[in-house]
Chains A and B, each alone.
Chain A
């Protein structure tokens, strides 16, 4: 069974600095997707960034980037120039490519989350 591990329950960063959140996963499959979701106090889950496993190039979205190491099964999130609005729970998630393995979209496996605090 696939699992996702976030080893840092809490992290803290100074405003304008850079922070990296860790995520490792376990799978025996080769085609899958990885996501980082942000959950602010408002509770809504917001997609931050996504990565296709077959793409070696690391995804970037403005101040957010990932370091995807497929062989090591690692998918860390780097937040540059941290802002107060970045304070939230961050969840790493894995989804098998259902187009190749059957099933359906939406069966994401989530980690337990990392609570990020941003200090002014």
Chain B
């Protein structure tokens, strides 16, 4: 029972490089999300998806792109990494119903460092 799986777990990039973070869920959830967590802060929503083929912007979308080609996968891309994108990135999924009945399930996070 894997739940939400994120790859990779760690990554170091140089400024200007690109990369893609992969999130996979095996719970048949409709909604998926990408958050970032900076030191001393809670999570902030970057982008989310309410179903296969859809994406939408969250609170802090600049510098990121996402795609949801398959229901179980949600990709987060950085086209030109900047030091300000150094953070821990979390993926989550949910059924997308009333929040009380549809809690978010989180992955274990990806620690990204941009030098």
Cβ of B31 and Cβ of A104 under 8 Å apart?
A: yes
- Chain B residues within an 8 Å CB radius of A106: 31, 33, 45, 48, 58, 92, 94, 104
- Chain A residues within an 8 Å CB radius of B96: 104-105
User: Complex formed: what's the CA distance from A117 to B48 in Å?
Assistant: 33
Please give the distance in Å from A3's CB to the nearest CB on chain B.
11
Cβ of A33 and Cβ of B100 under 8 Å apart?
A: yes
Cβ of B48 and Cβ of A43 under 8 Å apart?
A: no
User: How many A-B contacts at CB < 8 Å in the complex?
Assistant: 69
B88-99 interface code vs A (CB 8 A; 1 in, 0 out): 101010101111
Given contacts A33-B100, A42-B108, A109-B42, 9 further A-B contacts (CB under 8 A): A33-B99, A50-B103, A52-B100, A104-B96, A105-B94, A105-B99, A108-B104, A112-B40, A113-B41
- Chain A residues within an 8 Å CB radius of B99: 33, 50, 95, 97-98, 105
B4-38 interface code vs A (CB 8 A; 1 in, 0 out): 00000000000000000000000000010100000
Assess whether B59 is interfacial by the CB under 8 Å rule. yes
Contact surface of B with A, Cβ cutoff 8 Å: 31, 33, 40-45, 48, 50, 56, 58-59, 88, 90, 92, 94, 96-100, 102-104, 106-109
- Interface residues in A, total, Cβ within 8 A: 26
Cβ of A43 and Cβ of B42 under 8 Å apart?
A: no
Q: Which residue of A lies closest to B106 (CB)?
A: A45
- Chain B residues within an 8 Å CB radius of A62: none
Please give the distance in Å from A75's CB to the nearest CB on chain B.
14
Assess whether A47 is interfacial by the CB under 8 Å rule. yes
Assess whether A93 is interfacial by the CB under 8 Å rule. yes
Sampled A-B contacts (6; CB under 8 Å)? A47-B104, A50-B99, A104-B48, A106-B45, A106-B104, A107-B59
Please give the distance in Å from B51's CB to the nearest CB on chain A.
11
User: Complex formed: what's the CA distance from A111 to B44 in Å?
Assistant: 10
Contacts of A3-43 to chain B: CB distance below 8 A: 4, 33, 42-43
Looking at the complex, which one of A45, A52, A95, A110 makes contact with B44 (CB distance below 8 Å)?
A110
User: Complex formed: what's the CA distance from A93 to B106 in Å?
Assistant: 14
User: Complex formed: what's the CA distance from A110 to B44 in Å?
Assistant: 7
